[in-house]
Amino acid sequence: MSKKIFSGVQPTGNLHLGNYLGAIKNFVELNNDKQNDCIFCVVDLHAITVKQDRDQLKNNIRETAATFIASGIDPAKSIIFNQSKVQAHSEGSWMLSCIAPMGWLNRMTQFKEKAGKDKEKASVGLYIYPILMASDILLYDTTHVPVGEDQKQHLELTRDIAQKFNKDFNCADFLKVPEPLIKKNFSRIMSLKDGSKKMSKSDPSDLSRINLTDSKDQIVNKIKRAKTDSFPIPNEEQKLNGRPEAENLLGIYSSISNQSMEKTLSQFGGKNFSDFKAQLAEILSNKISPISDEIKKLLNDKQYLDKALLEGARKAEEIAGKKIEEIKRIIGF
Ligand code: TYM
């Protein structure tokens, strides 16, 4: 069955292995299935929920688009664009913010994490960010949204908002209720330094993550210094309980080599981490280095990237522009 896919990535720099394994790698698989209509968005309006440097933001938008293309998303097959170029996203966000009750937003755990202790100082944008995300998704009649585990709650909110809109305006099925696509075992890649923390671009330690622009030497060094424990690798998945760093590295290996954890454990069970780490670093650099080289190449051709983004925005505008007009009509404008 053909799927309508939409997903987004923030252009905040330092795209990392978590973004790749949790999201972008799946985008590529979905892009490669001829039956799917895919839209991948550089969500620059989401990025400004925290302060950005103007020049840096411009570079990061291009770099995120370059990462999509370098990873294997074909801009001729899928739509790639940046959110701020299509007005309907902001308009939809306002209208949906008049549908969603504050109580629903108050439950969002990511806001609590990102705002930290001083919530009063967080921007209103950061608070209503999941509504902009709902607008992104619902404007395209999206059926499936590939994301990492950390976005699951935002997708549940999107589903609730769609259902409430349809009910409030008595227009059953008008906003399509999307399904999340979250890879079962590998949707939450953890920090290389602390298996209880998510791998994240905001971690102050660069050693905690593999960036998609890292060189082979950097990857080898980071994997060598990644935290493990003093026990050998087990043969069974169950025995990884309580060993988050070991589980994370073995998960990364399984995901990047497209095999089950069971298969990885049968390959490395009983061995020590130094052998395993050498092989992990090798497979990671074989996979990441070509992407990193391609990103650098694409970034030298700004004209190509800008043209691809503009063309994508034109196609996105055609779809979202129609939907927002229907939304306005239903509301009564
Ligand atoms: P963002 O930019 O934080 O992350 C982009 C994608 O990467 C995934 N991800 C991870 N997956 C596994 N392990 C990790 N450590 C890890 N870190 C990040 C995220 O789950 C995400 O899929 N709000 C979204 C962007 C967005 C969006 C949308 C997504 C805006 N509109 C509409 C889907 C549909 C965000 O901030 O992702």
Gap between the Cα atoms of 164 and 134, Å rounded = 12
Residue 9 CA to ligand 1 center (angstroms) comes to 6
- The separation between CA 267 and the C-alpha centre of its own chain, rounded to angstroms, equals 30
Gap between the Cα atoms of 111 and 19, Å rounded = 19
- In angstroms, the first-to-last Cα distance of the chain is 36
Residue 322 CA to ligand 1 center (angstroms) comes to 26
Q: Which residues pair with 8 in a beta bridge?
A: 41
Domains of the chain, first to last: 3-186+302-331 (3.40.50.620), 206-297 (1.10.240.10)
212 ligand 1 Cβ < 6 A: no
What is the spatial order of strands in the sheet that 144-146 belongs to? 79-82, 37-42, 4-9, 144-146, 179-181
298 ligand 1 Cβ < 6 A: no
- Determine the residue type at 141: D
What secondary structure does DSSP assign to 21-64, as a single string?
A: IIIIHHHHHHHHSTT-EEEEEE-HHHHTTS---HHHHHHHHHHH
Closest residue CA from atom 9 of ligand 1: 19
46 ligand 1 Cβ < 6 A: yes
Closest residue CA from atom 36 of ligand 1: 10
pLDDT of residue 105: 97
Over its C-alpha atoms, the chain yields an Rg (Å, rounded) of 21
pLDDT of residue 282: 97
Closest residue CA from atom 27 of ligand 1: 8
Ligand 1 closest atom vs CA 151 = 20
- Determine the residue type at 60: N
Residue 314 CA to ligand 1 center (angstroms) comes to 24
By most ligand atoms within 8 Å of CB, the mutation choice from 20, 90, 133, 151 for ligand 1 is: 151
Gap between the Cα atoms of 49 and 191, Å rounded = 24
8 ligand 1 Cβ < 6 A: yes
Catalytic residues: 114, 198, 201
Contacts of 91 (CB under 8 A, 6+ apart): 324
User: Which of the 8 DSSP states describes residue 233?
Assistant: P
Q: Give strand ranges (E) for the chain.
A: 4-9, 37-42, 79-82, 144-146, 179-181
Give residue 99's region: left, alpha or beta (phi > 0; psi -120 to 50).
Answer: alpha
Give residue 301's region: left, alpha or beta (phi > 0; psi -120 to 50).
Answer: beta
Residue 19 CA to ligand 1 center (angstroms) comes to 7
pLDDT of residue 184: 81
Residue 303 CA to ligand 1 center (angstroms) comes to 27
- The separation between CA 310 and the C-alpha centre of its own chain, rounded to angstroms, equals 21
Task: Report the predicted TM-score, pTM, of the whole model to 2 decimal places.
Answer: 0.96
What are the pLDDT tens digits along the chain (333 aa)?
Answer: 789 999 999 999 889 999 999 999 999 999 999 999 999 999 999 999 999 999 999 999 999 999 999 999 999 999 999 999 999 999 999 999 999 999 999 999 999 989 988 889 999 999 999 999 999 999 999 999 999 999 999 999 999 999 999 999 999 999 999 999 998 878 999 999 999 999 999 899 999 999 999 999 999 999 999 999 999 999 999 999 999 999 999 999 999 999 999 999 999 999 999 999 999 999 999 999 999 999 999 999 999 999 999 999 999 999 999 999 999 999 999
Closest residue CA from atom 16 of ligand 1: 18
pLDDT of residue 227: 97
